[in-house]
Structure 1
Amino acid sequence: MATGYILPPEWTPQQAVQLTWPHPDTDWAPRLDTVLSVFARIAREISFREDVLIACHDAASVEVCRKYLHRAGAELARCHLHTVPSNDSWARDHGPITLQNPAGQCKLMDFAFNAWGLKFRADLDNQITRHLYAQGAYGNAALEISGMVLEGGSIEVDGAGTLLTTSACLLSPNRNPQWSAVQIEDALRTQLGVERILWLHSGHLEGDDTDAHIDTLARFCNPHTIAYQSCDDPDDSHFAPLQQMAAELSAFRNRDGKPYHLIPLPWAQAQWDEDGTRLPLSYANFLILNAALLLPTYDDPADGVAQERLQRAFPDREVIPIPCIELARQHGSLHCVTMQLPRSRDRPFTKGTASALV
C-alpha cells in the first residue's frame, strides 16, 4: 500500500454514502415495499446533506428506486444510480473501505466479501465495487483489490491510529483461516494505516449473522469516547456477555494512556421474526453523516433514551431517528446497509447513465 494513506473515522467530512437497493430476488422479497420505504427514508436524509450513490440490480430496479426516492422527497439531483447486479443489500460489508492521504486523495480498498464466513451467496456482491469503479462511479479515486476477507462493519477507527474489532469476527475460521491473530493485525496495519488494534472478546447479539460485528456493539464517537450497546436486564441472555464486554471497554486505554469515556446505549425489549428468531436490535448501529447522525429505532421506549444520549455525544450533529425494525427482520440495521465515502480533493464519483433523475 502506498505510504500516507489511512482509514479516516466516520465523522470525517463525507462526499457521499453508498447503498445497494433491495430487489425481488433478495430475501427482502416478502416485505419489499415496506423495506424499500425504509431505504428511501435513509437516502432522503443523506441527500439533504451529501450525495447518495445507489447500486441497483437491473433497469427495473433503477425505475423502482427512482419512484421511491421521489415519493420520499429525496434531493434527486444528489442521488446517483448505477446498474450493478447484487445478491443482497448490506453495503457496509461489500462496499469499498476508503482511505485518505494528507493531500486529500482517496483510495478504495476492495476486500474480499464471502457473506460473513460463507453463510450465504455473495458472488455478485463481491464484485459490486469493481463494477461501480469500471462505470466511473468513484471518479479519480484509486482502487486496490485485497485478497483479505474483511467487512466494513467489523472494524471501527478513531482517526488517531487505533482500530477496534472483535475476535469472534476477525478470527472466524471461515474468513482468513490461514492467518493467525498476529498476521491479521499486521495486515490491518499495512492495508488500513492503523497503528494499534483493540480486541473485544465478549459481546454478541442473538440473530446476528456477522459473528459479532463491532458496529452492532461499540462505536467510536471521537478519539476519546466509545458508545456501546449495554444490557441492564439480568434475566436476558445478553446480560452476562454484554457486561463482560463493558468491562473490557473499561480496561482499554486511549493513545494518551487514559480510560475512554464510555456511553452505555439502552437495551430494547426483545422482538422476534415469524420463525421465532430473535431480532438483533442495536442502537450502536447508527450512521454518522455531515452535520447529522441517523439513529435506528425499534418502536421501543428505549428509542428516546438512545437519541438523548447520542445527542449529547454528538452536540454538533442533529440526531435523526429512523424506524428500522424492517431492517432488523433480515438481521441487520441502519449502519449495515450504508457505506460512507469521505470527501476527496477530487470529486470521488461521477454520474452514471442510470442516474439522470431529473
Structure 2
Amino acid sequence: MKTVFPAEWAPQDAVLLTWPHKDTDWANILDSVEVTYVAIAREILSEQSLIIVAHNDALKAHISQLFIDNKVATDNLHFVICPTNDTWARDHGPICTYKGDSLHALDFTFNGWGNKYQANLDNAINQQLFNSVLAADASSSKVELALEGGGIETDGKGTLLTTSECLLNENRENNLSKEALEAKLSEVIGVDHFLWVDHGYLAGDDTDSHIDTLVRFAPNDTLVYVACDDSDDEHFNALQSMALQLQTLKTPSGDAYTLYALPWPSAKFNDEGDRLPATYANYLIINNKVLVPTYQDANDQAALDVIAKAYPEHQVVGIDCLPLIHQFGSLHCITMQLPNGFLRS
C-alpha cells in the first residue's frame, strides 16, 4: 500500500505545542513569550484541536489559568503531561503519513540539531503523545534516523524539499550518503522526487539551515521563499544564490515552479548584539488559516500580502513573534500540525 506524506495544508485534527517553562532557556522572557503562545493557541483553537505538552501538572494548571484569564476557548484543548527540555515541537514532534486511509505517525530521532543542546526528554515526547492521544485506528513506529520536521517540506504529491546543509550534516549522525538517505526517506515517508537546496542560511539559526526558514511549498506547484535585496546584508549573496537555484527546480513533470518572494525584515538583535533569525517563511498552515510571524517591522504587511496570494483559500493572520526569535526560532518552529486521523475521539 502506497505511503503518502501529506502537505501542511491537508485537513488537520490538531496542532502540537510544547509549552515553555522556568527550567527552559525561555526563563528570562517567559512572560512575554507566553503572550505569543497564547495568541497562537487562540487562533489554532478557533479552527481545530490543540494538544499542549506540559512539563508537569503545575504547568498544566498555570496554562489553564492563562487561558481562562485571556478568555481562550478550551473545548478542543488536550494536555499531555511529559517532562521537556525545550519547546521546539516542529523538530521533536511526530511526522505523519497515510497508508491508505489510515494515519501512521513516525517517531524520528531528535538529537538537538546535532547534539548542540540536551534533548533526551524531548526525544521521548512522541511515545507519550502516542500513548495519550493517538487514535485507536492509527498506527505508529519509531525510525532510527535523525530527522526534524523543520528540515523537510512536501507538496503532498511525493516531492520532498530540503537543504543539503541540514539533512546531509554529519552532526545528525545518520552516516548515510545522499543516495542512501533518499532511499530511506522514500521507504518510510513515501516521497520519490527530491529537491535539494544548496544555498541560503539564516543568522542565529541553530538548525543548520532548516528549509522552513527559507523556502515553503504552497498549492499549485508554488514555492514561497525569503529574498534579500540589501547588498550590504550578510545574507545577500547566499539568498541570491538560493533564488537562482529555485528558478532551476522542476516538478516531476518537468515544469518550473511558480515563485513568490517574501520581503526581508530589518535586522533584529538581542541585548548581547547577536543577530536574531527573523524570517517570514516560518509560518504555520492550519485549517482555513495561515498564521504568519511578524516582527514589529515595516515589511510585516508586505509579507502578509505575499502569503495571502500564495494561499488564496486561507485567511492570513499575523502574530507578533518578536519574543520567539530571542531563542532563535519562530512560529513554525514551535508548532507541529497533526493531520486528520491522528487524534483519539
TM range (shorter): over 0.9
After TM superposition, the score normalised by the length of structure 2 is 0.98
Contact 1:37 1:68 in 2 (8 A): no
Deviation of 1:296 after TM superposition, in Å, equals: 0.2
Residues 41 and 72, structure 1, Cα contact 8 Å, conserved in 2? no
Separation in 2, partners of 1:85, 1:59: 10
The 1:97–1:20 alpha-carbon spacing in structure 2 relative to 1, beyond 3 Å, is: same
* CA distance in structure 2 between the aligned counterparts of 1:43 and 1:98, rounded to whole angstroms: 21
Residues 34-60 of structure 1: per-residue CA shift (max 9 Å, x gap): 111111110110000000011000011
| CA-CA distance at 1:320 after TM superposition | 0.2
Match of 1:349 in 2: 344
Whole-Å separation in 2 of the counterparts to 1:69 and 1:254: 44
1:246-325 correspondence runs (5 A): 246-325=243-322
Instruction: Quote the residue 1:353 is aligned against.
Output: none
The one-letter code matched in structure 2 to 1:349 is R
Residue of structure 1 equivalent to 2:29: 31
Q: Is residue 2:335 matched to residue 1:333?
A: no
CA RMSD of aligned residues (A): 1.1
Residues of 1 paired with 2:95 and 2:232: CA distance?
Answer: 38
What is the distance in 2 between the residues matched to 1:157 and 1:223?
A: 12
* Residue number among 222, 234, 237 corresponding to 1:237 in the alignment: 234
Shift of residue 136, structure 1, vs aligned partner: 3.6
Q: Is 1:106–1:348's contact at 8 Å kept on the other side of the alignment?
A: no
Question: C-alpha displacement at 1:138, in angstroms?
Answer: 4.6
Instruction: State the percentage of identical aligned residues.
Output: 43
Aligned equivalents of 1:162, 1:223: Cα separation in 2:
13
CA distance in 2, matches of 1:242, 1:79: 39
Structure 1, unpaired ranges of 5+: 351-358
Deviation at 1:348, TM superposition (A): 2.2
- TM superposition outliers: structure 1 runs of 4+ over 4 Å: none
Measured in 2, the distance between the counterparts of 1:215 and 1:28 equals: 22
Q: Partner letter of residue 227 of structure 1?
A: V
For 2:82 and 2:206, locate their aligned partners in 1 and report how far apart those are by CA, in whole Å: 24
Structure 2 unaligned segments of length 5 or more: list them: none
Q: Displacement of 1:177 after TM fit?
A: 4.4
**Who is 1:20 aligned against?**
18
CA distance in 1, matches of 2:39, 2:25: 20
27-36 or 175-184: bigger deviation: 175-184
Contact 1:26-1:88 at 8 Å conserved across structures? yes
Structure 2: distance between partners of 1:177 and 1:257? 31
User: Which residue among 57, 73, 91 is the counterpart of 2:89?
Assistant: 91
Aligned length: 345
